[in-house]
């Protein structure tokens, strides 16, 4: 058949049955040939020595897989596309097949089938005019008037708009633009429909549109939909038209490859990397970090997914885009509200609260203030960790706790290098990823319990983290780029500063958190501990009541601690015992032997049920629930013999009272020390012996036979009870002197006196540390008088008023004043030695 003018196609065409795509005139598609009919067509028509360009075949869309039929062919589509095979590629793996690259020429209609075997041959009728199939017609009919003219203008403008959304500097886009101007208008619908990503069903609608007007309408609708989708993509995905790679993802090579304007050729991994790249630009990371990410992303795109390094690189990039490089929370700078919140969460701790309020006030005046590095040092159970959480609530910041106890690998802080399998970032970077902001409150818990190993010293790795002058460029080994930690508020907690390296301790502002007084523990119990335990055990205040006197009895007789953890456990035990009674529905009356008695007096003989009242815990109830008291209040029974004195010691668990016992026996002047003592405490014992021997005549001290030298013919044994506990430090010096003076003089030390202080050979009393904890321990033990060094008098200002009222403090400059206070009626020789001690002090 022949069109009205121009070149004709053969009236008989071998038909290639396609079920994977629709070939439109002007487009080029690859077809896979593996069915028997199509294989025979390739062998007999395309591979028999004839030129490929001189062989025209017909391509008929078919929705049914050719492998599913053998003898009978299905009903064929009535309209197909004539084309030429530009390239034929054969392969024998995994089975024999061919790949054809076919360029469409024009439409045809199948008139009748001439043969079905070995391939399909049909009588066809040409529908489109084809002037020169090798160039796709350089001259065509120009439509200017009527509805068809308007459609062609709109279509051309839409095509230009589509190209305007892409970058003309990309070669493939520029080539498409040149072809758009040179092609006749009536060929545009087929070419553009083959470029954009539409379904095969929609392509069949364009193929079936024999009328040019209908063809423009169908293709214009698809083109408009594609433009709107691309606009939405630009808004939602921040599409960058200057990215040549992404343009090629939207627009394939022309005419050798079909165009795809919405990433049809992009596989799933390509989608992931594109999304990842978009996240990089939206993460607002520093320029140096962005360059590193883009470099790693470039490597990732070239890397097979089967490589182990692929997952490592992908995890690294995911972490980089998830880190809060410039995302933070706004501080709540209401000083009054912050003060009320801190007072509501914690009782006492005035020093810590004042420091937090100072930080808030300065932050309100200067917004660029860097986060301070605070270190709370105190015994366990005083609320150091909970104070850090309250500070975060006060500031309105995120809170993250990092437990450092037992860490002995510096990689836990700095992270592992990515050269290792299973590498990961350190706890600092992981914490920032978890909270999602760059200005959280980080609590470094138990910083004094860091260890060392062959993997390095984590305390040394913290030097950069906890230095306000350096942590603005903290570099984790895993990230290998600098991260700004200057806005993070670091709070460290420790029980003692003795095990913290000096360089690390110098970078932190140390705030001492001493133990609580008895009154403070009573208030904490009734404000926080009892309500919390009632809630945890399903009880109400109408079911259980613990009076103030009972709470004081628990604190003094069942707990001996600086914090409140043991107190909370005792209250929990009481709540469990009451919960059993409540669950059993047991009605109890107030008798002498009942452990849990309702506070409801009834008349004798009244058989009516008493009204429901809370169960009141009294002393007898405590004994039945908690057992006999664990501690005795009085210590006088321990001071019934000469040679016993009461000292005060500091431990990481708080202050403690410490007895010093001495005995003497016949011997050759040997000094025996027991109680697992450190070298410093042993030296204090030798200092005490030397000072007493020097002043033995002055203080009328003699040995067992009355000789002036106390050690002549005498052995001395000094013992410090609780031998399983290591003891060290110079603060036991005055206690050892008082104990030996009692032994040599045969006089008893006052049972209500405790003391602490370091001594010298001249008899001076030097200051020591931990005064508040030691005084609190003396108050818990029922001591009434405390002897302190004169230079520690300033430390008494930190004590609560109630403690200062209950205790009598004596500040001593020399041992003469200590001995004069420690014994009833003074010590023999102290009056006559007053001038001597003044002269010694001046020297």
Instruction: Name the CATH topology of 636-842.
Output: Ribosomal Protein S5; domain 2 (3.30.230)
CA dist., res. 560 & res. 570, Å (int): 12
Closest alpha carbon to 409 in 444, 369, 465, 454: 454
Q: So what's the pLDDT on residue 224?
A: 83
Ranges in the chain annotated CATH 2.30.130.40: 12-126
Of 709 and 13, the one with more pLDDT: 13
Of 354-363, 586-595, 612-621, which gets the smallest average pLDDT? 586-595
Q: So what's the pLDDT on residue 600?
A: 41
CA dist., res. 288 & res. 297, Å (int): 14
Query: Cα-Cα-Cα-Cα dihedral of 751, 756, 760, 766, to 10°?
Result: -140
pLDDT at 341 over 60: yes
Q: What share of the chain is helix, strand, coil (3-state, %, to 5)?
A: 40, 20, 40
Q: So what's the pLDDT on residue 427?
A: 94
CA angle 505, 506, 509 (to 5 degrees): 80
Q: So what's the pLDDT on residue 607?
A: 37
Strand 97-115 with 489-494, pairing? unpaired
Closest alpha carbon to 357 in 329, 333, 387: 333
- Average pLDDT in the chain: 81
| Phi and psi torsions of 553, nearest 5° | -65, -40
**Burial zone of 116 (CB within 10 Å; 0-12 exposed, 13-18 middle, 19+ buried):** middle
Residue environment code for 562-587, b if the CB has 16+ CB neighbours within 10 A, otherwise e? bbbebbbebbebbbebbbebbeeeee
Ranges in the chain annotated CATH 3.30.230.10: 636-842
Q: Which residues pair with 106 in a beta bridge?
A: 82
The matching CATH number, chosen from 3.30.360.10, 3.40.1190.20, 2.60.40.10, 3.40.50.300, for 335-512 is 3.40.50.300
Is the CB of residue 621 less than 8 Å from the CB of residue 571?
A: no
Confidence band of 704 (pLDDT split at 50, 70, 90): low
Backbone conformation region of residue 50, classed left if phi is above 0, alpha if psi is from -120 to 50, else beta: beta
Of 410-414, 417-421, 551-555, 708-712, which gets the smallest average pLDDT? 708-712
Overall average pLDDT of the 213-240 stretch:
74
What's the pLDDT tens digit per position in 342-396? 888 888 888 888 988 898 888 888 877 777 899 999 889 888 999 899 989 988 8
What's the pLDDT tens digit per position in 437-452? 999 999 999 999 998 8
Overall average pLDDT of the 510-530 stretch:
89
CA angle 439, 512, 756 (to 5 degrees): 170
Q: So what's the pLDDT on residue 218?
A: 86
Q: So what's the pLDDT on residue 251?
A: 45
Q: Against a cut of 0.85, is the pTM above it?
A: no
Catalytic residue of the set 570, 727, 772, 774: 774
CA dist., res. 427 & res. 416, Å (int): 11
Overall average pLDDT of the 393-410 stretch:
91
Is the CB of residue 310 less than 8 Å from the CB of residue 300?
A: yes
CA dist., res. 494 & res. 492, Å (int): 7
| CATH architecture of the region 12-126 | Roll (2.30)
Of 212-226, 251-265, 267-281, 381-395, which gets the smallest average pLDDT? 251-265
State yes or no: cis peptide before 412, omega within 30 of 0.
no
Catalytic residue of the set 411, 684, 731, 742: 731
| Phi and psi torsions of 120, nearest 5° | -85, 130
774 among known catalytic residues = yes
In terms of average pLDDT, the best of 5-14, 182-191, 279-288, 756-765 is 756-765
Confidence band of 67 (pLDDT split at 50, 70, 90): low
Is the CB of residue 562 less than 8 Å from the CB of residue 382?
A: yes
The SS3 call for residue 374 is strand
Widest distance between CA atoms in the chain? 149
Beta carbons within 10 angstroms of residue 386's beta carbon: 13
CA angle 247, 250, 256 (to 5 degrees): 95
Residue 417: CB partners within 8 Å, gap ≥ 6?
423, 477, 478, 480
User: Could you tell me what percent of the chain has a pLDDT over 90?
Assistant: 33
CA dist., res. 47 & res. 605, Å (int): 121
Closest alpha carbon to 411 in 462, 487, 467: 462
Summarize the annotated binding site for ATP as residue ranges.
378-385
Q: So what's the pLDDT on residue 612?
A: 58
Overall average pLDDT of the 722-740 stretch:
89
Q: So what's the pLDDT on residue 571?
A: 95
Overall average pLDDT of the 118-141 stretch:
64
Overall average pLDDT of the 123-139 stretch:
61
Overall average pLDDT of the 100-123 stretch:
89
In eight-state DSSP terms, residue 814 is B
Backbone conformation region of residue 585, classed left if phi is above 0, alpha if psi is from -120 to 50, else beta: left
Ranges in the chain annotated CATH 1.10.8.60: 518-626
CA dist., res. 432 & res. 322, Å (int): 9
Q: So what's the pLDDT on residue 173?
A: 59
Q: Give CATH for domain 518-626.
A: 1.10.8.60
DSSP 193-218: HHHS---HHHHHHHHH--SHHHHHHH
Is the CB of residue 6 less than 8 Å from the CB of residue 80?
A: no
Alpha helices, DSSP H, located in 558-618: 565-584
731 among known catalytic residues = yes
Ranges in the chain annotated CATH 3.40.50.300: 335-512
Kindly report the length of the chain.
843
Is the CB of residue 119 less than 8 Å from the CB of residue 44?
A: yes
The SS3 call for residue 60 is strand
pLDDT at 310 over 60: yes
Closest alpha carbon to 375 in 465, 488, 508: 508
CA dist., res. 133 & res. 103, Å (int): 10
What's the pLDDT tens digit per position in 674-691? 999 999 999 999 999 999
CA dist., res. 502 & res. 510, Å (int): 12
Q: So what's the pLDDT on residue 403?
A: 93
CA dist., res. 280 & res. 325, Å (int): 11
Q: So what's the pLDDT on residue 562?
A: 83
In eight-state DSSP terms, residue 527 is I
Beta carbons within 10 angstroms of residue 88's beta carbon: 15
């Amino acid at each position: 058949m022949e069109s009205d003018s121009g070149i004709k196609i053969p009236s008989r065409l071998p038909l290639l049955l396609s079920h994977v795509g629709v070939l439109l005139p002007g487009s080029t598609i690859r077809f896979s040939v593996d069915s028997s009919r199509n294989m025979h067509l390739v062998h007999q028509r395309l591979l028999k020595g004839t030129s490929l360009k001189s062989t025209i075949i017909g391509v008929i869309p078919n929705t049914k897989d050719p492998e599913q039929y053998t003898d009978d062919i299905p009903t064929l589509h009535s309209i197909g596309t004539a084309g030429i095979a530009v390239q034929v590629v054969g392969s024998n793996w995994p089975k024999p097949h061919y790949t054809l690259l076919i360029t469409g020429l024009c439409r045809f209609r199948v008139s009748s089938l001439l043969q079905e075997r070995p391939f399909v041959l049909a009588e066809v009728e040409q529908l489109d005019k084809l002037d020169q199939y090798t160039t796709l017609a350089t001259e065509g009919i120009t439509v200017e008037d009527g509805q068809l003219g308007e459609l062609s203008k709109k279509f051309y403008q839409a095509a230009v708009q589509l190209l305007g959304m892409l970058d003309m500097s990309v070669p493939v886009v520029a080539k498409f633009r040149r072809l758009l101007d040179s092609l006749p208008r009536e060929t545009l619908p087929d070419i553009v429909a083959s470029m954009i990503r539409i379904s095969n069903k929609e392509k069949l609608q364009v193929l079936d549109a024999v009328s040019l007007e209908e063809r423009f309408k169908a293709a214009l609708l698809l083109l408009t939909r594609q433009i709107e989708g691309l606009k939405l993509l630009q808004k939602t995905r921040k599409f960058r038209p200057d990215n040549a790679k992404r343009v090629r993802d939207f627009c394939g090579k022309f005419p050798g490859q079909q165009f795809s304007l919405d990433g049809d050729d992009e596989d799933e991994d390509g989608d992931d990397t594109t999304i990842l790249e978009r996240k990089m630009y939206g993460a607002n990371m520093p320029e140096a970090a962005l360059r590193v990410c883009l470099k790693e992303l470039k490597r990732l795109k070239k890397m097979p997914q089967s490589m182990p390094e692929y997952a490592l690189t992908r995890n690294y990039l995911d972490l980089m885009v998830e880190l809060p490089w410039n995302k933070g929370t706004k501080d709540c700078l209401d000083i009054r509200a912050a003060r009320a919140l801190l007072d509501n969460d914690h009782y006492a701790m005035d020093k810590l609260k004042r420091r937090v309020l100072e930080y808030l006030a300065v932050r309100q005046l200067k917004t660029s203030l860097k986060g301070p590095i605070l270190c709370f040092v105190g015994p366990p159970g005083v609320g150091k960790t909970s104070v850090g959480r309250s500070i975060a609530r006060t500031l309105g910041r995120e809170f993250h706790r990092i437990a450092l106890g037992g860490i002995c690998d510096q990689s836990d802080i700095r992270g592992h290098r990515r050269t290792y399998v299973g590498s990961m970032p350190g706890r600092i970077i992981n914490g920032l990823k978890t909270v999602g902001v760059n200005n959280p409150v980080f609590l470094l818990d138990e910083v004094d319990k860091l260890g060392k190993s062959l993997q390095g010293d984590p305390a040394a790795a913290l030097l950069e983290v906890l230095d306000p002058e350096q942590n603005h460029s903290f570099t984790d080994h895993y990230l290998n780029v600098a991260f700004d930690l200057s806005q993070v508020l670091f709070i460290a907690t420790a029980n003692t500063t003795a095990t913290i390296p000096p360089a690390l301790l110098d970078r932190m502002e140390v705030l001492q958190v001493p133990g609580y007084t008895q009154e403070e523990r009573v208030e904490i119990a009734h404000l926080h501990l009892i309500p919390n335990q009632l809630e945890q055990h399903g009880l109400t205040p109408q079911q259980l009541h613990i009076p103030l006197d009972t709470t004081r009895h628990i604190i003094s007789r069942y707990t001996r601690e600086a914090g409140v953890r043991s107190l909370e456990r005792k209250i929990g035990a009481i709540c469990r015992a009451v919960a059993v009674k409540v669950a059993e529905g047991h009605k109890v009356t107030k008798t002498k032997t009942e452990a849990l008695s309702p506070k409801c007096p009834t008349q004798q003989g009244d058989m009516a049920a008493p009204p429901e009242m809370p169960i009141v815990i009294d002393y007898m109830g405590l004994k039945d629930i908690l057992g006999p008291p664990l501690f005795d209040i009085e210590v006088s029974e321990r001071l019934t013999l000469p040679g016993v004195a009461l000292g005060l010691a500091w431990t990481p668990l708080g202050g403690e009272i410490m007895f010093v016992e001495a005995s003497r026996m016949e011997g050759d002047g040997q000094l025996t020390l027991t109680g697992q003592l450190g070298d410093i405490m042993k030296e204090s014992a030798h200092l005490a012996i030397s000072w007493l021997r020097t002043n033995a005549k002055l203080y009328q001290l003699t040995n067992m036979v009355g000789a002036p030298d106390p050690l002549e013919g005498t052995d001395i044994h000094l013992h410090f009870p609780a031998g399983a506990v290591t003891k060290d430090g110079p603060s036991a010096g005055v206690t050892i002197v008082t104990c030996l003076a009692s032994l040599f003089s045969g006089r008893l030390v006052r049972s209500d006196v405790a003391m602490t202080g370091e001594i010298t050979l001249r008899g001076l009393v030097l200051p020591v540390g931990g005064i508040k904890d030691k005084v609190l321990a003396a108050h818990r033990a029922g001591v009434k008088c405390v002897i302190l060094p004169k230079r520690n008098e300033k430390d008494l200002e930190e004590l609560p008023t109630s403690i200062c009222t209950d205790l009598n403090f004596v500040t001593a400059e020399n041992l003469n004043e200590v001995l004069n206070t420690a014994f009833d009626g003074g010590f023999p020789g102290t009056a006559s030695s007053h001038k001597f001690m003044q002269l010694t002090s001046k020297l």
